[in-house]
């Protein structure tokens, strides 16, 4: 995270800029009389320009311009410009003319030479407004990005919390049935459920997890589902490629697998679920294909549509412009294919 520069650094930068602005011309032009004569001529103009710049930057702009008091701001600036020009004219009339022994002094007050300092003063006004507006824009843009990030984080947290609303209760019912039968599968099922709950409650709070952890979570979920479905479903989960170095957002893939088990299993006909994951350093392709029982349950389809909307929104937030979700829905099969660019 970028930190603010210390005050002394900003002060040093300002001093260097002002010295460069007013004393480099002396080195380039080499006016008569040397450095002391140059200071006598530009000293007051320089001092008033610097003073006017900081008054305008630190007080006039935030006090009047940012509060949309444009008439007051214009009045204050114009009055300050005239007062500065009068002060410089007085300085030339009573100091410079005496030190340099002018034989013919210009008329006192409101002569043509009185407006010579107006250009550097107007330049200071323009630079002050430009820099202050740029700084204000940068500040508001930073706040906007922070608010947007906070909104995205909150929205992602809400979307993740909507995953697996019924899974825990169904699994506990299945384990309860195993316990009544005194099945040897009871203890492994409890261990897998504890691993799933640890992942959901602890690991899923991280921004990213290893793809191997996500795959372990899917495997545990599938093994627990097998307790419910037994051998009624032809099930395959294939992984190809090196997934050990890939990071993904937690709980990103599970909704597709959940929907396959929820909507793709028939207790009358033979069903099948096929899950494929291909990954490398450039990206990953995840596909889930399942048969669709007949007749179709319209209420289940509506629930599935809500879950799919949830997944689409997460993908839009997490991988904008770097993902492709293809869905093939026929009378007999339902298949999703998700491609994610990880470069």
Integer Cα distance of 9 and 41 in angstroms? 30
Tell me: the pLDDT tens digits for 152-185?
A: 665 556 556 555 556 677 778 878 888 888 888 8
Q: Which residues pair with 234 in a beta bridge?
A: 272
Instruction: Place 302 in a pLDDT band, splitting at 50, 70 and 90.
Output: very low
Cβ-based burial of 125 (10 A; exposed 0-12, middle 13-18, buried ≥19): buried
- Residue 258 pLDDT more than 90? no
Query: For the domain 162-341, what is the CATH code?
Result: 3.30.565.10
Tell me: the pLDDT tens digits for 84-128?
A: 888 888 887 777 777 777 766 666 666 666 777 788 888 888 888
Pairing of strands 283-291, 209-210: unpaired
CB 129 within 8 A of CB 58: no
Which range among 106-120, 237-251, 284-298 shows the weakest confidence by mean pLDDT? 106-120
Domain boundaries, the chain: 7-154, 162-341
CB 289 within 8 A of CB 333: yes
Q: What is the pLDDT of residue 124?
A: 85
Q: What is the pLDDT of residue 215?
A: 93
Pairing of strands 271-279, 233-240: parallel
Q: What is the pLDDT of residue 336?
A: 93
């Amino acid at each position: 995270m970028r930190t603010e520069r210390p005050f002394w650094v900003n002060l040093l930068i300002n001093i260097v800029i002002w010295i460069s602005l007013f004393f480099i011309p002396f080195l380039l032009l080499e006016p008569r009389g040397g450095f002391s004569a140059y200071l006598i001529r530009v000293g007051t103009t320089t001092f008033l320009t610097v003073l006017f710049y900081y008054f305008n930057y630190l007080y006039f702009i935030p006090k009047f311009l940012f509060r949309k008091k444009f008439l007051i701001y214009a009045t204050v600036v114009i009055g300050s410009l005239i007062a500065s020009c009068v002060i410089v004219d007085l300085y030339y009339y009573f100091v410079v003319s005496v030190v340099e022994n002018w034989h013919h002094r210009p008329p006192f007050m409101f002569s043509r030479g009185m407006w010579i300092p107006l250009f550097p003063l107007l330049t200071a006004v323009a630079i002050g407004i430009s820099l202050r507006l740029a700084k204000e824009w940068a500040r508001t843009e930073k706040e906007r990005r922070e608010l947007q990030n906070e909104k995205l984080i909150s929205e992602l947290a809400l979307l993740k919390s909507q995953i697996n609303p019924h899974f825990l209760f169904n699994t506990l019912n299945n384990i309860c049935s195993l316990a009544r039968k005194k099945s040897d599968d009871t203890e492994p099922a409890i261990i897998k459920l504890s691993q799933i709950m640890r992942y959901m409650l602890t690991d899923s709070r991280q921004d990213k997890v290893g793809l191997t952890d996500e795959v372990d979570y899917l495997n545990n979920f599938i093994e627990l589902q097998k307790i419910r479905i037994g051998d009624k479903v032809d099930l395959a989960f294939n992984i190809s490629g090196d997934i050990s170095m890939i990071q993904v957002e937690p709980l990103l893939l599970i909704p597709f697998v959940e929907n396959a088990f929820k909507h793709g299993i028939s207790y009358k006909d033979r069903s099948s679920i096929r899950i494929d994951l291909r990954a490398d350093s450039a990206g990953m392709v995840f596909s889930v294909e399942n048969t669709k029982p007949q007749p179709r349950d319209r209420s289940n389809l509506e629930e599935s549509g809500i879950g799919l909307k949830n997944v689409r929104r997460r993908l839009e937030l997490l991988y904008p412009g770097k993902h492709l979700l293809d869905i093939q829905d026929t009378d007999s099969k339902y298949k999703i294919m998700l491609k994610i660019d990880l470069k």
